[in-house]
Amino acid sequence: MNILIIGSGGREHALAWKLKQSSRVTRVFVAPGNAGTAIGAENVPIRETDFPALIRFAKDNRVGLTVVGPEVPLVAGIVDAFEAEKLRIFGPNKAAAQLEGSKVFCKDILHKGNVPTAIHKVFYDADSAVAYLRGGHDMPVVVKADGLAAGKGVIVCDTRDEAVSAVNRIAREREFGAAGDRLMIEERLHGQEASVLAITDGETIVTLQPAQDHKAACDGDKGPNTGGMGAYSPAHIVDDRKLHWIEEHVFVPTVHALNRNDTPFKGVLYAGLMMTAQGPKVLEYNARFGDPECQPLLMRLKTDLLDVLELTVEGRLYHLDSLKWDARPAVCVVMASEGYPGVYEKGKVISGLDEAAKHENVKVFHAGTSTNDNGEIVTNGGRVLGVTALGDTISDAKNAAYAAIQEIQWDGAWYRSDISDKAVR
């Protein structure tokens, strides 16, 4: 079977790498892909939101399954567009993808399902949000733009003044455009965060092993928020008992609430959880694999991913045997461009990739990379590589990832040096 993967990040390189290992897969195309997917698979120069061109490509190349990586095409309705043409595609349709596309929709579903989450209030204009803040106690809150804002529309505030300025950025200065048409003020939760992903066909739920991301740019979780500077799995803060609790109290009621809402969900339910003193609470749902969580998860998954994705699309996930995992932990460390998550330059030549590839139990997943006119691999984004390693212990995996990183260089490359330390502490 030929596969088409939509997207160009580390997640999509990991998906391509994993699907290539299936005995039933012939060709793997990635649109638009990166320099890593160009080597391991075949890149197709089509943008991820150009649905007519993607559909034409899928038909012309006898693609048996399309797998969508990022949220933007999902929320824009790529699944509906493919299904209208009788093409098989993995991911939620436009209505169900609102779970990630609208934080207000997500909260409605969580309430319908009685799923634990932070207390919140929705506002349609800046004046009423500011009046609400001025009328209450000066306490830490989180201000969120309703729509997609590339992970930037969430502002964690320590004081009322910070919250008022966050409201102004979203609703008056319109920093996030139409994503700020509605906004939410939410109780600030405390604890460690965990990413727990489940695959569902709308009936059966298959929970993946827990993972933990590192969203802050700098060591010790300091500095600005990023797309994620590293991840590891399993995450010990979610032990088997907690994982079971999350299945029962988070995923099952969410899937039921989505069905009752007439927006049945097929694809990846990614719960961003805060492990509070009162138990796990949902911070947000994403409607896709996490990036970089996908990299360590797929490095550990032994089950044929094609089986999982196909049975989901066919609504026959109850047929799937229990997932098989490598018992060894995996750690992914992101190498980023100088300036990220702010402005950064592109086109820096990356050296040492071949040497890094020789390291055992290590896989270097590409994210923001491309090939220049001289055939050299160069930087092409903020998060550039996800160096991922397996080890007998989490420390072994961490050391293996950082040893491979020592081989790789470009002008301005940087990374966090403490990925997975939370697991050891």
- What are the residues binding ligand GLY (CB under 6 A)? 213, 228, 286, 290-291, 293
Name the binder of 186 from ligand GLY, ligand AMP, none, CB < 5-8 A by kind: ligand AMP
Alpha-carbon dihedral 300, 303, 309, 312, rounded to 10 degrees: -120
- Name the minimum Å distance from CB 138 to ligand GLY: 30
Name the binder of 293 from ligand GLY, ligand AMP, none, CB < 5-8 A by kind: ligand GLY
Name the binder of 228 from ligand GLY, ligand AMP, none, CB < 5-8 A by kind: ligand GLY
Q: Which is nearer to ligand AMP, 189 or 333 (CB)?
A: 189
Name the binder of 377 from ligand GLY, ligand AMP, none, CB < 5-8 A by kind: none
Q: Which are the contacts of 168, defined by CB distance < 8 A and separation ≥ 6?
A: 126, 130
What span, in angstroms and rounded, lies between the C-alpha atoms of 55 and 343? 34
Q: Which is nearer to ligand GLY, 10 or 33 (CB)?
A: 10
From the list 14, 18, 27, 31, the residue with the least C-alpha distance to 61 is: 27
What span, in angstroms and rounded, lies between the C-alpha atoms of 138 and 111? 26
State how far the alpha carbon of 276 is from the alpha carbons of 21, 117, 188, 355, in Å. Answer: 39, 10, 11, 43
What span, in angstroms and rounded, lies between the C-alpha atoms of 397 and 388? 8
- Strands (E) in 252-341, as ranges, are 267-276, 279-286, 330-336
Q: Which is nearer to ligand GLY, 129 or 233 (CB)?
A: 233
- Name the minimum Å distance from CB 399 to ligand GLY: 23
Q: Which is nearer to ligand GLY, 167 or 336 (CB)?
A: 336
Name the binder of 290 from ligand GLY, ligand AMP, none, CB < 5-8 A by kind: ligand GLY
Q: Taking a C-beta distance cutoff of 8 angstroms, is the pair 275, 203 a contact? A: no
Residue 160's CB: how many other CB atoms inside 10 A? Answer: 17
Q: Which is nearer to ligand GLY, 169 or 288 (CB)?
A: 288
- Name the minimum Å distance from CB 343 to ligand GLY: 21
- Name the minimum Å distance from CB 137 to ligand AMP: 16
Q: Which is nearer to ligand AMP, 18 or 215 (CB)?
A: 215
Amino acid residing at 263: T
Q: Which is nearer to ligand GLY, 291 or 407 (CB)?
A: 291
Residue matched to tokens 């360590």? 296
Residues that bind ligand AMP (CB under 6 A): 118, 142, 151, 154, 156, 186-189, 193, 215, 272, 283-284
Name the binder of 146 from ligand GLY, ligand AMP, none, CB < 5-8 A by kind: none
Written as six digits, the tokens of 92 are 């939620």
- Name the minimum Å distance from CB 99 to ligand GLY: 13
Name the binder of 193 from ligand AMP, ligand GLY, none, CB < 5-8 A by kind: ligand AMP
- Name the minimum Å distance from CB 119 to ligand AMP: 9
Name the binder of 189 from ligand GLY, ligand AMP, none, CB < 5-8 A by kind: ligand AMP
Give the 3-state secondary structure of residue 7: strand
What share of residues in the chain are helix, strand, coil (percent, to 5)? 35, 25, 40
- Tell me whether residue 345 is exposed, middle or buried, using C-beta atoms within 10 angstroms of its C-beta: 0 to 12, 13 to 18, 19 or more: exposed
